Structure 1
Amino acid sequence: MKNNPFKPTDAVQNDWNLSSVVSALRHSRETAHNIRHKGRIRELPSREALAQILQGLLAVLFPTHLGRPDLNDESIDYFVGNTLNSTLAVLVEQVRRGLLFVTDADAENDATLTAKATEITREFAARLPEIRALLVSDLLAAFHGDPAASSPSEILLCYPGMTAIMYHRLAHALYELGSPVLARVISDIAHSSTGIDIHPGAKIGGSFFIDHGTGVVIGQTTIIGQGVRLYQAVTLGAKRFPADDNGVLIKGNARHPIVEDDVVIYAGATVLGRITIGKGSTIGGNVWLTQSVPPGSNVTQAQSQSQSK
């Protein structure tokens, strides 16, 4: 009978010098290389809890598609109310943990954080009908914009672009309400599951459609108008990162594109810097664009290369 390669043998069990390693790791963690926020915060938002929250919120927004398919007119409101209540109860604690990162108070002992988290969560819940209206406009834009789509239900259930924008609209609301760390974790959950990276600070108008989606990147200060369509591997990014006199990056500046209404940006295009893509423009595949273009423009790869010379 062969030995199990995954079972430790008696001969090596006491050879790790664990006490010394654990002690050295403690010194690194607590003293030499302490990376905790402000040197003390241990209560971090939980990705597992946020995944549960997202599942609950999507079930509330689209109960029969993403909640329970057996719901009827008599049970649907009960399901929505019960699911929303339990989801918000979990969310408020995650919001409180996120607030630890944006306060200068002795946050671990600050009783006002719970009240602030409750206020943010209540306001977030009040925005859900507005968020759903935006998502329905995104859903219909995808259905009307993709000839391969057989129904809005198909898009809701299996289009990664739709999943990414659902997560983004929820994350963006939390970002605006003062919970940026929590929103950032949600955007990373979306990125992990869809391959689409949208910063929660990005402002995106209604009827937004990401077709195929993999590799799309949308930066923090991007502003996108109504009826915009992006294809896979599009980047709306920053051209440069200015630094102060000490070489530290200056954060918070508007450094990403403004994309006006009814713009289409095809696969692989890279649009960088605080430039404006005028209303109704079309940006071709694999274009590299660092200059503003007026409304109604049609930019091809050859044109963008000529502009850059």
Structure 2
Amino acid sequence: MIGTADADRPELTDGVAAIASELAEIRREWRDAYGHNAEYGSEGFPSRGDLLKIVGALCGALYPLRLGPDFVRPHNEHVFVEQTLQTTLARLYGQVRLELIYAMADETTHAVDARAAAIVRTFTERLPALRRLLDTDVEAAWRGDPAARSVDEVLICYPSMLAIIHHRLAHQLHVDGARLVARIIAEVAHDKTGIDIHPGAQIGDSFFIDHGTGVVIGETAILGRNVRLYQGVTLGARSFAADEAEVMVRNIPRHPIVEDDVVIYAGATILGRVTIGAGSEIGGNVWLTHDVPPKSRVIQAREQNSISGG
């Protein structure tokens, strides 16, 4: 018989009490350094797992016959949407409330509850407008990709559409003040699709990402309407400003502005607060750190043959 008698096993728990005490001291130092009081996180934090389910339900409520559960049919979709919104928005309120409680300073719990309710109420009121906005994205994909046979195929099959739906929902929550919840929703989409869109990014209507894997769109990026990106495109920051204490300065514009009707092909990298003028075309694998005038066509420099004949 292969094995070790209990008497011969090393005592694996030796020193655990001392390790636990040391970890407690590290946690105290961490909380002191970042200004967190003893109640920090006492009610928990927003849950990635719960928000995954919430956003999945919201996708079903927005497009019940295509993204909803298989029992939804035209005769019961209205009832399904109404019931789904009632339960899902209540769960979203719980997640937003956890974020606000974790971040609260001098507010009372009653004030936090009211603010969480206001955020979810505004989000709810925006859902019809978000659905109309998403319809323009679906139509842009159908018009822009000859492989798409229908708008239904775009909704059901395209990972970029899933990322865009998540972004539109997350951006609204970001704007309304639930920024941690919004970031978790964005990272859920990132994990599923390989497309990384910060919820702070402002993106106009009729947005299309073809293929999409490896696309990165930074927090302060601004995209106009009818913008098309291909896989591997980065709209990133070129550098990060720091204060006198060498702490990174946050909340400053540092990502590109992409104006209307721009196409950016696979692997292009655009860094810094530069502007890509309307109607421009940016070729594959281009590296850009400067403004581009409207209606420009930017491609990689062609290799020059320096060997002359004769």
In the aligned structure 2, how far is the partner of 1:94 from the partner of 1:268? 36
How big is each residue's C-alpha offset from its partner over 1:144-201, in whole Å with a ceiling of 9 and x where there is no partner? 1111112222221221111111100000000111111111111111111111111101
Aligned CA distance change for structure 1 residues 36 and 101 (closer, same or farther; 3 Å): farther
Which residue in the other structure is 2:88 paired with?
87
2:12 alignment partner, SS class: coil
In the aligned structure 1, how far is the partner of 2:166 from the partner of 2:9? 48
How big is each residue's C-alpha offset from its partner over 1:85-107, in whole Å with a ceiling of 9 and x where there is no partner? 0001100011111223554325x
Aligned AA for 2:132?
Answer: A
Which residue in the other structure is 2:118 paired with?
119
State whether residues 37 and 101 of structure 1, in contact with CA within 8 Å, keep that contact through their aligned partners in structure 2: no
| Structure 1 residue 25: Cα displacement | 1.9
| Structure 1 residue 60: Cα displacement | 0.3
| Structure 1 residue 16: Cα displacement | 2.2
| Structure 1 residue 225: Cα displacement | 0.5
Which residue in the other structure is 2:9 paired with?
12
Structure 1 unaligned blocks of 5 or more: 304-309
Pairing of 1:172-211 with structure 2 (within 5 A): 172-211=171-210
Aligned CA distance change for structure 1 residues 285 and 79 (closer, same or farther; 3 Å): same
State whether residues 226 and 260 of structure 2, in contact with CA within 8 Å, keep that contact through their aligned partners in structure 1: yes
| Structure 1 residue 243: Cα displacement | 1.2
In the aligned structure 1, how far is the partner of 2:139 from the partner of 2:6? 61
In the aligned structure 2, how far is the partner of 1:63 from the partner of 1:79? 8
| Structure 1 residue 248: Cα displacement | 1.4
Task: Among all aligned residue pairs of Structure 1 and Structure 2, give the percentage whose two residues are the same amino acid.
Answer: 49
How big is each residue's C-alpha offset from its partner over 1:265-296, in whole Å with a ceiling of 9 and x where there is no partner? 00010001111111110000000001111111
Aligned CA distance change for structure 1 residues 20 and 130 (closer, same or farther; 3 Å): same
Structure 2 unaligned blocks of 5 or more: 303-310
State whether residues 173 and 181 of structure 2, in contact with CA within 8 Å, keep that contact through their aligned partners in structure 1: yes
Give the aligned CA root-mean-square deviation in angstroms.
2.0
In the aligned structure 2, how far is the partner of 1:135 from the partner of 1:105? 38
1:32 aligns with 2:12: no
State whether residues 101 and 109 of structure 2, in contact with CA within 8 Å, keep that contact through their aligned partners in structure 1: no
Q: TM-score, normalised by structure 1?
A: 0.90
Q: Which moved more, 1:286-295 or 1:144-153?
A: 144-153
How big is each residue's C-alpha offset from its partner over 1:89-130, in whole Å with a ceiling of 9 and x where there is no partner? 100011111223554325xx5221111111110110110111
Aligned AA for 1:99?
Answer: L
Which residue in the other structure is 2:61 paired with?
60
State whether residues 236 and 272 of structure 1, in contact with CA within 8 Å, keep that contact through their aligned partners in structure 2: yes
In the aligned structure 2, how far is the partner of 1:51 from the partner of 1:122? 20
In the aligned structure 2, how far is the partner of 1:160 from the partner of 1:70? 23
Which residue in the other structure is 2:216 paired with?
217
State whether residues 278 and 293 of structure 1, in contact with CA within 8 Å, keep that contact through their aligned partners in structure 2: yes
Aligned AA for 2:205?
Answer: G
| Structure 1 residue 2: Cα displacement | 4.8
1:261 alignment partner, SS class: coil
2:55 alignment partner, SS class: helix
How big is each residue's C-alpha offset from its partner over 1:46-92, in whole Å with a ceiling of 9 and x where there is no partner? 11110111011001000011113443343111100000100011000
In the aligned structure 1, how far is the partner of 2:34 from the partner of 2:48? 18
Q: Which moved more, 1:40-49 or 1:216-225?
A: 40-49
Pairing of 1:1-309 with structure 2 (within 5 A): 2-3=2-3, 11-12=8-9, 14-17=11-14, 18-29=16-27, 31-34=28-31, 38-40=35-37, 41-42=40-41, 43-100=44-101, 102-105=103-106, 110-302=109-301
In the aligned structure 2, how far is the partner of 1:165 from the partner of 1:187? 10
Q: Which moved more, 1:15-24 or 1:189-198?
A: 15-24
State whether residues 101 and 181 of structure 1, in contact with CA within 8 Å, keep that contact through their aligned partners in structure 2: no
Aligned AA for 2:75?
Answer: E
Aligned AA for 1:292?
Answer: D
Q: What is the number of residues matched between the two proteins? A: 297
Aligned CA distance change for structure 1 residues 10 and 153 (closer, same or farther; 3 Å): farther
Aligned CA distance change for structure 1 residues 250 and 56 (closer, same or farther; 3 Å): same
In the aligned structure 1, how far is the partner of 2:274 from the partner of 2:121? 36
State whether residues 234 and 266 of structure 1, in contact with CA within 8 Å, keep that contact through their aligned partners in structure 2: yes
